[in-house]
Structure formats: structure tokens, C-alpha cells
């Protein structure tokens, strides 16, 4: 009768552990970039939504009052509940563009015509976020 060694039944060998850890690292190297891209696309979708909301509020305020809002605070709380965050995560980075004096309701008192992001970072599309209008 052959004597069986107890050595083989005690646990994993070093090579088995190295293989399992290597497989986990390969899976992580695939998953992390995909996760990062999904986070970026989520932030970009939120930026696009915020731009649409803000520019719509500016247009509605201008039509209702027959003059453009003079400051972002003119939009709150009548047209929006609060000024949403820019892609930077802050509200003070929005760039509020003056309306075109030729198209203004009151040429003597032009106000805000539109808004865009103040971020100079590049989007996943290869353009600066500041070039997005809505």
C-alpha cells in the first residue's frame, strides 16, 4: 500500500495563488477603464442637462419679463429652484454670456443671453466643455 502524503491537501500552492492574483489583475485592468469612462459620460450627461435647464430658464424669463435676466439670481426661485453645478462641481464656474444687443428686448439694458461651462478640460468627444452650449 502506498502512503499518501498530507502535504497536497493542506492548501493552495504558490503557483496557484500567483495565477489567481494574475487573473484578478487582468480583470481589473479591463474593468477600471470602462468604469472611468462611464463616470465621465455620466458627468457629461449631467452637464448637458444642466445647460439645457439653464438656457431654457433664461429664455423663459426673458419672454415672461420682456427683458433678459440681469444676473443668475434673477432665475431663482421663479424659473429654477437653484443654480446647478457646472461639470467642475461648483456653481461659480458658469460663464454667463450677454445677449446680443441687436436681438435684446431692451437694447439699453442687455442681460444674460445664454450660459456655458467655464471648464477648460477636454470632453470625451475631444472638445472643451466650455464650447458646449446645450
User: 77-112 pLDDT, tens per residue?
Assistant: 889 999 999 898 888 899 999 888 777 777 777 888
Rounded distance between C-alpha atoms, residue 3 and residue 24, angstroms: 37
Task: Assess contact for 95 and 30: CB atoms under 8 A.
Answer: no
- Rounded to two decimals, the pTM is 0.73
pLDDT band for position 60 (50/70/90)?
very high
122 DSSP assignment: B
**What pLDDT shows up at residue 7?**
53
Task: Assess contact for 62 and 111: CB atoms under 8 A.
Answer: yes
Q: What are phi and psi of 128, to 5 degrees?
A: -75, 145
**What pLDDT shows up at residue 6?**
54
**What pLDDT shows up at residue 54?**
94
Rounded distance between C-alpha atoms, residue 83 and residue 53, angstroms: 10
pLDDT: is 119 or 4 the higher one? 119
Task: Assess contact for 94 and 103: CB atoms under 8 A.
Answer: no
How do residues 23-51 score in pLDDT, each as one tens digit?
A: 999 999 999 999 999 999 999 999 999 99
Amino acid at each position: 500500500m502506498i502512503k499518501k502524503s498530507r502535504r497536497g491537501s493542506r492548501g493552495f500552492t504558490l503557483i496557484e495563488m500567483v495565477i489567481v492574483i494574475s487573473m484578478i489583475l487582468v480583470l481589473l485592468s479591463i474593468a477600471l477603464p470602462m468604469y472611468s469612462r462611464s463616470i465621465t459620460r455620466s458627468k457629461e450627461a449631467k452637464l448637458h442637462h444642466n445647460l439645457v435647464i439653464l438656457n431654457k430658464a433664461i429664455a423663459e424669463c426673458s419672454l415672461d419679463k420682456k427683458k433678459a435676466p440681469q444676473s443668475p439670481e434673477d432665475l431663482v426661485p421663479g424659473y429654477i429652484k437653484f443654480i446647478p453645478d457646472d461639470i467642475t462641481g461648483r456653481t461659480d464656474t458658469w460663464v454667463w454670456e450677454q445677449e446680443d444687443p441687436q436681438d435684446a428686448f431692451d437694447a439699453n439694458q442687455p442681460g444674460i443671453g445664454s450660459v456655458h461651462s467655464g471648464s477648460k478640460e477636454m470632453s470625451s468627444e475631444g472638445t472643451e466643455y466650455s464650447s458646449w452650449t446645450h
